[in-house]
């Protein structure tokens, strides 16, 4: 049942999850691709689309309402200042890579829009960044999925060893008790 839901709605789930933030969703999608429930290229493409559309929307919101939003949300101040410093220092490299910096993904497009960054330039560099991010993080999820399968495989072997050990210990104690009981009768 769960496999059917994943195969039917998994790509949409990845796209929606990455629209809003998404590292965890993307890593899980990559792990599910390793398990064979989704395809890795499909996961990466869904993440690319969700991430790209989410960041473009944040840029548009920043362009239209950014100054007012930042003024009314003091909790965003530290993230906004950090994103602004990084954007000033790294320029276009920041636009490509901001989604790799935890906590800056959603505020960065907004800050860039408020700062007057070109929307065309942002769209091009954001597309490159979204593609890189989707490929890297979904691949990390696939690798993590391989690790989980390996650990679970080891756990199954450890379980078998544990059961065998319990059988040996219980058997040894039973034999010991049996021989002590016979010795006490003699």
Global pTM reads 0.72
pLDDT confidence tier of residue 8, bands split at 50, 70 and 90? confident
Task: Read off the pLDDT of residues 131-178 as tens digits, 9 standing for 90 and up.
Answer: 999 999 999 888 888 776 565 555 555 555 555 566 666 767 666 776
CA dist 154 and 6 (Å) reads 26
Domain ranges in the chain? Answer: 2-152
What's the mean pLDDT in 113-135? 93
For residue 48, pLDDT beyond 60: yes
CA dist 47 and 29 (Å) reads 9
Of 16-20, 71-75, 90-94, 138-142, the one with minimum mean pLDDT is 71-75
On the 0-12 / 13-18 / 19+ scale of CB atoms within 10 A, 174 is exposed
């Amino acid at each position: 049942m769960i496999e059917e839901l994943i195969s039917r709605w998994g790509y949409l789930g990845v796209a929606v999850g990455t629209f809003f933030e998404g590292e965890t969703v993307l890593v899980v999608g990559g792990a599910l691709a390793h398990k064979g429930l989704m395809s890795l290229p499909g996961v990466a493409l869904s993440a690319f689309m969700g991430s790209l559309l989410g960041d473009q929307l944040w840029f548009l919101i920043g362009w239209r309402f950014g100054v007012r939003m930042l003024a009314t949300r003091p909790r965003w101040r530290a993230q906004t200042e950090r994103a602004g410093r990084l954007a000033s220092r790294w320029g276009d490299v920041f636009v490509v890579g901001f989604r790799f910096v935890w906590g800056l993904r959603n505020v960065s497009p907004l800050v860039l829009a408020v700062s007057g960054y070109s929307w065309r330039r942002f769209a091009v560099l954001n597309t490159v960044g979204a593609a890189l991010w989707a490929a890297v993080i979904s691949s990390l999820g696939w690798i993590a999925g391989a690790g989980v399968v390996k650990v679970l495989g080891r756990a199954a072997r450890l379980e078998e060893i544990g059961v065998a050990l319990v059988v040996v210990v219980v058997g040894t104690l039973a034999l010991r008790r049996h021989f002590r009981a016979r010795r006490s009768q003699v």
